C-alpha cells in the first residue's frame, strides 16, 4: 500500500465518518451505514492492493475503526467513553491482526500499536472535549495512520 493510497483511505474514513450519528440515532440506520462503509472499504482495499498481501487482510477493519474514531467527535453525549472505545477497537484490530500475522513471519507493528494504545490511554484523561481538542485528536489519528 503506497503512502498516497493510505492517505486516500484516511480521507475516505473521514468522509464516511461525516454520515454517522446524524439526526436521530437509530440502530438499523447506523448499522446499515457502517455495513456500507465496511463493504466500500473492502472494495477499496481490493482495488488498490493485491489480495495476496497479508498486510491487507485487516485493512478494511482498520479503516472502519478509524472511521468510528473520527465519527465519535460528533456524538452528542458520552464522547470520552466512545472515543476511547473506538480507539480501543482500532488497537484491537491492529494488535490481534499483528499477532496472527507475526505467526506467519510478518513483523509486529509495535510503533503503530503502541501509539494507538498511548493515545487511547491518554484520551481517558480528557475532560470536556472542545473543538480544538477534537481537531487535535483527529490530527493525531491521521498522523498515526499515515506515519506509523
Partner 1 sequence: MVRILFIVFLCLLVPGLASMGYSLWQGPAAWSVDTDVFWGLPISLFVFWIGLAHAGTLISAIFLVLDVKMERRTSILAELATLCALVVAAIFPLMHLGVIENFYMVAPYMDSRGSMANVCSPLVWDFCCILAYGFLSVVYLIVHMLSEKSAVAASIHRPLAWLLFPMVLWVHTVVSLDFAATFVPAWRGAFFPIYFIVGAVFSGLAMVNIMLCGEGYRMRQLEKLMLVGSWFLGAFLLWDWALKGDLNVVVLIFAVLLPQFWFVSAVRESTLGRVLVASSVLVGMLLERVFLVFPTGGSGIGWVDLGLICFGFGLFGVIFLVARLKLSRLIEGEEVLMGEVEESAPKRPATVKFAYFPPLTTPEFRALRFPLLLGILSCVLFLVWVVGCLEENGIAFSDVNLIPLTCPIVTAVAGFVLCLRPLVFHIGKVGGIVMVALAVLLGVLAGMVYGGVMSVPSGSVVSSTGDMFDVNALPDSTSSLDSVAVIRTKAVFEARCAGCHGADGRLNEKFVREYYPVPQDLDLARMDALGEDSLVNVVLNGRTNMNPYAGRISPQMARGLVRYMRLLAESARADGVRAKAGEGGGE
Q: Which residues bind partner 1 (CB under 8 A)?
A: 27-28, 31-32, 34-35, 38-39, 42, 46, 51, 54-55, 57-58, 60-61, 77-78, 80, 88, 92-93, 95-104, 108, 124-128
| The three grid cell numbers given for residue 1, joined into one nine-digit string | 500500500
| In contact, 81 and 106? CB cutoff 8 Å | no
Q: Between 110 and 135, whose beta carbon lies closer to partner 1?
A: 110
Q: Between 10 and 93, whose beta carbon lies closer to partner 1?
A: 93
Phi, psi angle pair for 25, to nearest 5°: -85, 115
Q: Tell me which residue of 63, 128, 127 sits closest to 89, measured CA to CA.
A: 63
Q: Between 108 and 142, whose beta carbon lies closer to partner 1?
A: 108
Q: How far is the CB of 28 from partner 1 (least distance, A)?
A: 5
Provide the H-helix boundaries in the chain: 3-19, 27-48, 59-72, 79-103, 110-123, 131-147
Q: How far is the CB of 54 from partner 1 (least distance, A)?
A: 7
Q: How far is the CB of 50 from partner 1 (least distance, A)?
A: 10
Amino acid at each position: 500500500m503506497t503512502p498516497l493510497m493510505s492517505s486516500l483511505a484516511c480521507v475516505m474514513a473521514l468522509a464516511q465518518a461525516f454520515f454517522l450519528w446524524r439526526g436521530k440515532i437509530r440502530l438499523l440506520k447506523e448499522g446499515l451505514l457502517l455495513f456500507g462503509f465496511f463493504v466500500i472499504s473492502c472494495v477499496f482495499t481490493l482495488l488498490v492492493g493485491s489480495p495476496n498481501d497479508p498486510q491487507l487482510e485487516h485493512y478494511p477493519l482498520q479503516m472502519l475503526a478509524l472511521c468510528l474514531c473520527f465519527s465519535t467527535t460528533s456524538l452528542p453525549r458520552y464522547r470520552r467513553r466512545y472515543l476511547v472505545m473506538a480507539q480501543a477497537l482500532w488497537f484491537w484490530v491492529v494488535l490481534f491482526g499483528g499477532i496472527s500475522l507475526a505467526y506467519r513471519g510478518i513483523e509486529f507493528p509495535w510503533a503503530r500499536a503502541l501509539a494507538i494504545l498511548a493515545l487511547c490511554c491518554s484520551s481517558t484523561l480528557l475532560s470536556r472535549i472542545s473543538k480544538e481538542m477534537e481537531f487535535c485528536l483527529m490530527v493525531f489519528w491521521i498522523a498515526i495512520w499515515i506515519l506509523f
